[in-house]
Structure 1
Amino acid sequence: MPMRKFIALVGTNTTNSTNRKLLQYMQRHFADQAEIELMEVSGLPMFNKPRNMKVPDQALAMAEKIEASDGVIISTPEYDHAVPAILMNALAWLSYGIQPLMDKPVMVVGASFGALGTSRAQGHLRQILDSPEIRARIMPSSEYRVGSVLKVLDENGNLTDDKLVEHLDALFADFQRFVEISDELWHTAQFDKQNATQA
């Protein structure tokens, strides 16, 4: 079987983001299992629902890469118990007349300075991804939260907590399997696209 190709969406525009570092760690750590390409959400204009349905070229390019991928990994920080506005903005563009995430397997992860990680932000993100306009296939029971991230991420961007690494290994193995299963769930795909077009 050829190596899977995943898009890793960086859910923030923070320059020194620990969520970007988490995805970069996954990119290195799983290099022998999958090709993971990081994708930034910064640079898109503020979503304003243009009447002419004109989608920015950057969003179209992002959509093309997402559609060509086997799945998407999204890492989100938590701002006031929600996902950052810049991530919501990107998802708005990626569901306006285009549906690259529809029926696409998605894994959600997150890192934060606090002890609780990004639990509420991940729940918020799952609600967004499950909306009629997006309809991603989110891997169930797979919340991966890196709390107190500055204590477990070293200067080279590597996770130093063995239990966190083992948990991530297990979830990524499950995600690979989830992608395989999702490939077989094609019966409703045409109806999903029709309903999204009519919405």
Structure 2
Amino acid sequence: MSKPVILAIVGSLRRESYNRQLALAAQKAVGDRADFRLLDYADIPYMNQDIEFPAPEAIARVRAEIKSADGIWFFTPEYNHFFPGVLKNLLDWLSRPVSKDEPQVLAGKPAAISGITPSMAGTALAQDHLVTLISFLNMKIMNIPRLTIPNAQQQLNQAGALELAASAPYLQKQADAFLKFIDSNK
């Protein structure tokens, strides 16, 4: 039996963002139980129906990666009580049909959501907004457990890298639950 493929989508394009670091921590929590990949989407253009068909190469590549995944794990910061515009742009592209004969690629995909932020508020509002959108796109959402980590600076090591302490068991619990959720939604 082959391992499931989990595609991580990080809502920040910054190379060392807290959420990218959280995704890498999730990769360790998943271990060898799945093929865990981070989606690189920094090169996609703004959604524009004038260039929708045929889709730009970057969009075709991202869609192919989504199609090959068994589950999508979102890692989102919270910007002004919402998820980032780059993530919204990606989801706008992914919400569109691939062609006149092929529907959008997110429908039916299992999804998990995590997030970390420097503020005390955590990422709960951003996650709720993201759930609203991906529900509309007919993804299968694992609502429990979700992980929202406030005060990111409290979980950084002396070099400034994320080193989960209090949140580590919750990330592990979410990783275990998501693997089961993916399996139950095959």
Using structure 2 for the length normalisation, give the TM-score. 0.89
Q: What amino acid maps onto 2:183 in structure 1?
A: E
Gapped regions of structure 1 (runs ≥ 5)? 184-199
Distance 1:160 1:12, change over 3 A: closer
1:138 aligns with 2:110: no
Q: For residue 12 of structure 1, report the CA deviation from its aligned partner.
A: 1.4
- Between 1:103-112 and 1:48-57, the stretch displaced more is 48-57
What is residue 117 of structure 2 aligned with on the other side? 112
Length, aligned pairs only: 180
CA contact (8 A) 2:6 2:37 kept: yes
Q: What amino acid maps onto 2:4 in structure 1?
A: R
Looking at structure 2, the residues matched to 120 and 11 of structure 1 have their Cα atoms a distance apart, in angstroms, of 14
CA contact (8 A) 2:97 2:105 kept: no
What is residue 180 of structure 1 aligned with on the other side? 183
**Alignment RMSD:** 1.8
Secondary structure of the 1:31 match is helix
Q: For residue 158 of structure 1, report the CA deviation from its aligned partner.
A: 4.8
1:88 aligns with 2:94: no
Deviations 1:110-167 (A, max 9, x none): 1100122111000011111011xx2111112222011111211334845331x41111
Q: RCO higher in 1 or 2 (8 Å CA, sep ≥ 6)?
A: 2
What is residue 169 of structure 1 aligned with on the other side? 172
What is residue 122 of structure 1 aligned with on the other side? 127
Looking at structure 2, the residues matched to 142 and 57 of structure 1 have their Cα atoms a distance apart, in angstroms, of 35
Distance 1:7 1:172, change over 3 A: same
- Between 1:27-36 and 1:149-158, the stretch displaced more is 149-158
Instruction: Please show how residues 6-155 of structure 1 align to structure 2 within 5 Å.
Output: 6-50=6-50, 53-98=53-98, 99-131=104-136, 134-154=137-157, 155=159
- Identical residues among aligned pairs (%): 26
What is residue 163 of structure 2 aligned with on the other side? 159
Looking at structure 2, the residues matched to 158 and 68 of structure 1 have their Cα atoms a distance apart, in angstroms, of 29
CA contact (8 A) 2:26 2:172 kept: no
Q: What amino acid maps onto 2:151 in structure 1?
A: S
Deviations 1:167-197 (A, max 9, x none): 11111111111111111xxxxxxxxxxxxxx
Q: What amino acid maps onto 1:126 in structure 2?
A: V
Which 4+ runs in 1 deviate beyond 6 A? none
Distance 1:16 1:101, change over 3 A: same
CA contact (8 A) 1:71 1:105 kept: yes
CA contact (8 A) 2:11 2:76 kept: yes
Deviations 1:27-85 (A, max 9, x none): 23322222211112322111122276332211111111111111011111111100111
